[in-house]
Structure 1
């Protein structure tokens, strides 16, 4: 039987991310190699989803542990390569620093609330992990040693990924100033308000969709099998109340999971109000935690 010829539509389409050639890497900051704009998923009716990958130029191990970074932006905006306002001027940048410490760092797109509602962004993170695992031999990364790191809305999604993803299970999570609950009034948030970032992410006021709001909260997924968490939150946070991290830490501790809660004095959201030295301290402590979870020597 003669195989049918591909259609013109199939011929002109870009190669599927599962087997598309990887873009050429570039040496940027000293000792770090970057792959930028790598497609990892095609979503019907949406833009291609991409990731950036940082790796150390000189490897001490054949396969590198992975930091999967999830950006913030109230689920509505943001850039995959942005760790927040206090790190934007760093030279080397934060991801180059993580790579220099021996990790591969994948910063991933996910669909924002103007594009799709929950659980779409969580599905996208799962798709990124699937793609990274599929292409791990080419990339020389070990996704069975993955630490997810997220800030703000990205920390919420990172928490959910750490608590629910099992193939492969994650090694741990670094979570900065993130929501853990969509059902309870905290700070300026009320579940009855249909105009909050949480409501836009869910597609309705949380109080109007209580089951979905419950499922979208990391608190709903805490179990004894949870990987270790570092929760860092500014005590003075005016955008995401620090009680979110206290509640998640208490639930993890009650379940018998490992959790390190760090309430940072004098810090507002995004580490606003902290002197530069203290921001560097938060970053360094977070990186040390990630290295320990990945089974790497702690520097």
Structure 2
């Protein structure tokens, strides 16, 4: 495996440079997973796939299966509100199209893989671009209006979603709809692999159930894997390898 850390791919005026870490397998022209981290849009790092799961069981596992991984920064909600994050992912994908071949990557075979807030960004990107082969959505919020009703004891203006939108969903409904994958589904969507813990208290599994139902009703190729007893970020799951293996099988299928 070849690992290149800190490749700068964009810097919007007035903001910090954004970078990606690229891990590639020995084979050339590898399909590429564009990874987007979680953290409620307000924290998190491209260096961490999922809290508590080490690199060898996450990033390295994907590369060992024959795929490159580009783990990307995006601006957090304290830096810029939605839709800035979609611009950031576009810039990362554009960089891969421009430079991927030199790095042993086949940017014509891109799959987006996001966790939690990163899954929302991945889903939105996949739903609006035509150069994405598939989306792996792990426990991502899909309906920001329903998330606003999910009481975690925070003032409405201090929730993760409100910070990302710049205001509670009910105050900016058009923005909240645009930031909710559930309302962006069309029959042209790429294949989706959705996985969610049944005991997730931070992002209820109903979020993924609604997205899967909308994708299926539109005739989209969608896999859904509820994980019994799992909490957010796969807490409570003793062995996450099967979860990765299922997602990797999906990546292999859609990039074949």
TM range (shorter): over 0.9
Q: Tell me the alpha carbon deviations over residues 181-202 of structure 1, each in whole angstroms, 9 at most, x when there is no partner.
A: 1122553269x91110000000
Superposed counterparts of 1:117-266, under 5 Å: 117-166=81-130, 169-184=131-146, 185-188=148-151, 193-266=156-229
Q: Which residue does the alignment assign to 2:4?
A: 35
1:110 paired with 2:71, answer: no
Bigger mean CA offset, 130-139 vs 68-77: 130-139
Q: TM-score scaled to structure 2, two decimals? A: 0.96
Q: CA deviation at 1:140?
A: 2.5
Q: CA deviation at 1:105?
A: 0.6
Q: Which residue does the alignment assign to 1:70?
A: 36
| Contiguous gaps of at least 5 residues in structure 2 | none
Q: CA deviation at 1:86?
A: 3.2
* C-alpha separation in 2, matches of 1:171 and 1:137: 17
Q: TM-score scaled to structure 1, two decimals? A: 0.82
* C-alpha separation in 2, matches of 1:124 and 1:211: 21
Q: Which residue does the alignment assign to 1:291?
A: 252
Bigger mean CA offset, 133-142 vs 62-71: 133-142
Q: Which residue does the alignment assign to 1:16?
A: none
- The answer to which structure has the higher helix fraction is 2
Q: Tell me the alpha carbon deviations over residues 40-74 of structure 1, each in whole angstroms, 9 at most, x when there is no partner.
A: 01210011000000001x21xx3111100000000
| Contiguous gaps of at least 5 residues in structure 1 | 1-31
Q: Which residue does the alignment assign to 1:46?
A: 15
Report the number of matched residues: 255
1:98 paired with 2:67, answer: no
Q: CA deviation at 1:136?
A: 2.2
Q: CA deviation at 1:154?
A: 0.4
Q: Which one has the largest radius of gyration?
A: 1
* C-alpha separation in 1, matches of 2:61 and 2:232: 22
1:188·1:239 contact (CA, 8 Å) conserved in 2? no
Higher relative contact order (CA 8 A, sep 6+): 2
Moved over 2 A (4+): 184-190
Q: Tell me the alpha carbon deviations over residues 135-155 of structure 1, each in whole angstroms, 9 at most, x when there is no partner.
A: 123123111211100000000
For 2:226, what is the secondary structure of its paired residue?
Answer: strand
